[in-house]
Amino acid sequence: MRITTPENDIAEVLFTEKQIAARVEALGMALTAEYGGKKPVMVCVLKGASFFYIDLCRQMNCQIDMDFISVSSYGAEAQSSGVVRLVKDLDTNITGRHVVLVEDIIDSGLTLSYLREFFGARRPASIRTISFLDKTARHASELKTDYCGFEVPDVFVVGYGLDYASYYRNLPYIGVLKPEVYS
């Protein structure tokens, strides 16, 4: 019997659990400084941002609302389908509220621009984005996120919420998937 654990499919670790924790703590402090007293609505973009979102919210020392949305832009491929679909909407009315969209990774920037436009139409007081990872080389600079955890090169990464074909999300670090896994 062939025993496979997620680690077997990782070529390289880009960010360790420790590095991630330190970065998320710093981001939580920055958001606390900016949003203290504003009672922002923190919006988790499921499922990829889930670990980042929970850790980030835990590091914010101010009143926040927590809500979740789900979009789908990828099938079981390592390539964007180019189509964004809202699968689960917010429960919270965001009109007049300060909104922070929490994303896992900006690749083409398509999901980010769709979400900004879609939720911006509900007239929030402000809308900003924070993405755990950003593949800056893959998109135009106007699609930049307001806050970012780490910049990553154009490689397919998994772990800390990010998946390939819905697996690997539970790895506690960010790793590069071996190309033979998806080719």
Rounded Cα distance between 166 and 44, Å, is 17
Tokens of 163: 């998946």
Which residues, numbered 42-81, are part of the site for Mg ion (CB under 5 A)?
48, 74
Q: Is 159 in the site for Mg ion (CB under 5 A)?
A: no
Q: Single out the residue of 45, 34, 24 nearest to residue 107, CA to CA.
A: 45
CB 68 within 8 A of CB 43: yes
Least spacing, CB of residue 127 vs ligand IMP, in Å: 17
Pairing of strands 65-72, 41-46: parallel
Least spacing, CB of residue 39 vs ligand IMP, in Å: 26
* Residue 55 bears catalytic tag: no
Least spacing, CB of residue 95 vs ligand IMP, in Å: 25
Q: Which is nearer to Mg ion, 48 or 149 (CB)?
A: 48
Tokens of 75: 């099938």
Q: Single out the residue of 123, 133, 130, 122 nearest to residue 162, CA to CA.
A: 133
Q: Applying CB under 5 A, what is the total number of residues that bind Mg ion?
A: 2
Q: Which is nearer to ligand IMP, 38 or 144 (CB)?
A: 144
Q: Single out the residue of 152, 159, 176, 157 nearest to residue 11, CA to CA.
A: 176
Q: Which is nearer to Mg ion, 64 or 143 (CB)?
A: 143
* Residue 97 CA, distance from chain mean position: 21
Q: Which is nearer to ligand IMP, 16 or 70 (CB)?
A: 70
Rounded Cα distance between 104 and 20, Å, is 13
User: Catalytic: which of 9, 104, 107, 134?
Assistant: 107
Binding site for ligand IMP (CB under 6 A): 48, 73-74, 80, 103-112, 156-158, 162
Least spacing, CB of residue 48 vs Mg ion, in Å: 5
List residues near Mg ion by CB under 5 A. Answer: 48, 74
Give the active site residues.
Answer: 107
